Amino acid sequence: MGFFSFTQEIAIDLGTANTIIMTNDEIVVDEPSVVALDVANGKQLKAVGRKAQQMIGKGGSLIQTIRPLRDGVIADFYACEMMIRGMIKMIPRQNRFLSPNIKMVVCIPSGSTEVEIRAVRDSSEHAGGRDVYMIYEPMAAAIGMGIDVEAPEGCMIVDIGGGTTEIAVISLGGIVTNKSIKTAGDDFNADIVDYMGRMHNMRIDEPTAERIKIQVGSALPELEDGPEDYIVVGPNKVTALPMQVPVSYQEVAYCLEKSVSKIETAVLQALESTPPELYADIVKRGIFLTGGGALLHGLAQRLSTKITIPFHVAEDPLHAVARGTGVALKNTSNFNFLLR
């Protein structure tokens, strides 16, 4: 039976922590950006996403689990290509006899160099993309939040992802000023791992730190309605005997202080280089927080108090970038800020 060809349109938010794929305005894949390769069989793809994440630290020397993106940049090309391929295969197919031409819009950090942009393009093309477009993350986040990015008004987006925090001022369909720093969700996790080792003599891994961050992560040591303590189970660093330690949000606020301060400073630096006309718009409209880091308890409150401009958390901060990428996918001819 012959194969017919059709065009499948997909939007990919290729994130350091999670990769989200949208097609027909629907999120069809939302998986951790992890890939597991079978070292014994010439690095064959063993698992991708959640299944691969469950294999971290459990496969010995035979299974290699890789996070292909570090700090918002592809760190391992082969693994990234395998991951994109594996995730595209997860998309429910209407007809398995149809072989699709894939049109993709992939979102990239606003601080990407030419080399990094080329790397994302190559990986996307090798994974089956026929027509590949790119969009900068803050632009996609703004579109995903329903902001009219082509209006002659300034709006500021702070997108705290897994590997990078992107801060951009958008006006007239372009990014006027942008600042990208490599302090984000992964650094929060590393801070927690370090803190648990130093203060509680407990050895924990990154997935445990991620759970602590989600449950009791805080940017302020005093919250009106703070979360309950979170019980962490793990081995003692010295004796390897099991321990149970309750962790409070106050402790986590203390251990994340340095990283949160870096984000604060970066926002202030971005405001400093914003033209006065747009600055006035930002003060009036407030600053929009998105990305997984926006869910940190008390972050918007802390930034609003410190910077004296209101901060608004996006309605669905984890998916705003993906949704914006999906909107751009449907309007590739109209949006002049897409990179070909």
Give the span between the Cα atoms of 301 and 177, in whole angstroms.
Answer: 24
**Measured distance CA(142)–CA(4) in Å, rounded:** 37
Nearest to 311 by CA among 298, 320, 300: 300
pLDDT at 53 over 70: yes
Q: What is the DSSP string of 33-60?
A: S-EEEEGGGTSEEEEETHHHHTTTTTST
Give residue-wise pLDDT tens across range 144-162.
999 999 899 999 999 999 9
- How does residue 169 score in pLDDT terms, banded at 50, 70 and 90? very high
The mean per-residue pLDDT over the stretch 115-141 comes to: 89
Domains along the sequence of the chain with CATH: 4-32+70-140+322-330 (3.30.420.40), 148-183+260-317 (3.30.420.40), 185-255 (3.90.640.10)
Q: Per-residue confidence at 89, pLDDT binned at 50, 70, 90?
A: confident
Q: What is the pLDDT of residues 187-200, one digit of tens each?
A: 999 999 999 999 99
Identify the pLDDT of residue 281: 95
The pTM of this model reads 0.89
Crossing angle for the helix pair 185-200 and 249-272, to the nearest 10 degrees: 140
Give the position of tokens 């970038």: 321
Q: What confidence tens digit (pLDDT) does each residue in 239-248 have? A: 999 999 999 9
Split at pLDDT 50, 70, 90, the class of 2 is very low
Average pLDDT, the chain: 89
Q: How many CB atoms lie within 10 A of CB 85?
A: 16
pLDDT band at 94 (very low <50, low <70, confident <90, very high): low
Q: What is the mean pLDDT of residues 170-190?
A: 92
* Closest among 35, 129, 34, 111 to 72, alpha carbons compared: 111
pLDDT at 96 over 70: no
Which pLDDT belongs to residue 4?
A: 53
C-alpha 161: how far from chain center:
4
Residue 115: partners with Cβ closer than 8 Å, 6 or more residues away: none
